[in-house]
């Protein structure tokens, strides 16, 4: 089970390349290093199961989570490319894709975001992040957040499955978002929906979540 991960949220201009590279080293290359270690023996034994804790943000980017989403997209692409070869050797690969999970990980991330220096971005972007995104995120976690124990139960079910799924989403509330993306290959539908929710109907979104 590959579960190591770090987060990053905020305006792109306010994040250093060194911090981005460090995040990719943990979230993506950490997984790659693990798979390189375990896969050869699994292939020799013609049996094994690699379970990767991904994220719904590996399927859909979320505003102000540019680098974190990129790392999870990399995880998804890596596993999707590898799964067919692995199946030839009777090795299963499963991606567990949670939405928001209420842990100290997220609490620390948002505490740091509230204290951060946003002088390297323009005032409008800083205002959108601090007064719209952070407020909405807290409501999302309060209403849709799962517990770590819930994610562990989902992961256990994937491990114990007779035919392990390649993808397993833990939060049904995010199924429509994934469906919207596939419904319109141009991306216009989902982009417009997110824009309307964030900039036109933010108060309605928060009220609905509450």
Q: Report the predicted TM-score, pTM, of the whole model to 2 decimal places.
A: 0.89
Q: What is the CATH number of the domain that holds 120?
A: 3.40.50.720
Most trustworthy range by pLDDT among 40-44, 145-149, 168-172, 205-209: 40-44
Domain count, the chain: 1
Parent domain of 25: 12-183
170 within a domain of the structure (yes/no)? yes
205 within a domain of the structure (yes/no)? no
Tokens 């933010």 correspond to 202
- For 146, phi then psi, to 5°, come to -100, 160
Choice among 39-43, 105-109, 167-171, 195-199 with the minimum mean pLDDT: 105-109
Q: How far apart are CA 150 and CA 111, in angstroms?
A: 24
Rg (CA), the chain: 18
Side-by-side strand order, sheet with 48-53: 48-53, 91-97, 167-169
78 within a domain of the structure (yes/no)? yes
Tell me whether residue 68 is one of the annotated catalytic residues. Answer: yes
| Active-site residue, from 68, 110, 118, 174 | 68
Q: How far apart are CA 47 and CA 183, in angstroms?
A: 36
114 within a domain of the structure (yes/no)? yes
193 within a domain of the structure (yes/no)? no
The per-residue pLDDT for range 80-135, each reduced to its tens digit, is: 999 999 999 999 999 999 988 888 877 777 788 778 889 999 999 999 998 888 88
The DSSP code for 46 is: T
């Amino acid at each position: 089970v590959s579960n190591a991960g770090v987060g990053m949220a905020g305006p792109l201009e306010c994040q250093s390349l060194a911090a981005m590279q460090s995040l990719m080293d943990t979230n993506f290359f950490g997984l790659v290093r693990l798979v390189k270690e375990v896969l050869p023996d699994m292939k020799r034994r013609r049996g094994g199961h690699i379970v990767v804790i991904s994220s719904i943000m590996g399927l859909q980017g979320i505003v102000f989570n540019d680098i974190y989403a990129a790392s999870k997209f990399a995880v998804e692409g890596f596993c999707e490319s590898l799964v067919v070869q692995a199946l030839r050797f009777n090795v299963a690969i499963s991606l567990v894709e949670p939405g928001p999970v209420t842990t100290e990980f997220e609490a620390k991330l948002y505490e740091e975001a509230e204290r951060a220096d946003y002088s390297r971005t323009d005032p409008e972007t800083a205002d959108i992040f601090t007064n719209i995104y952070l407020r909405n995120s807290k409501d999302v976690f309060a209403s849709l957040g799962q517990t770590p124990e819930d994610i562990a139960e989902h992961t256990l079910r994937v491990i114990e499955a007779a035919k392990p799924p390649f993808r397993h989403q833990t939060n049904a509330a995010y199924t429509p978002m994934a469906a919207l993306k596939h419904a319109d290959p141009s991306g216009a539908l989902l982009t417009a929906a997110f824009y309307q929710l964030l900039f036109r109907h933010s108060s309605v979104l928060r009220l609905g979540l509450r």
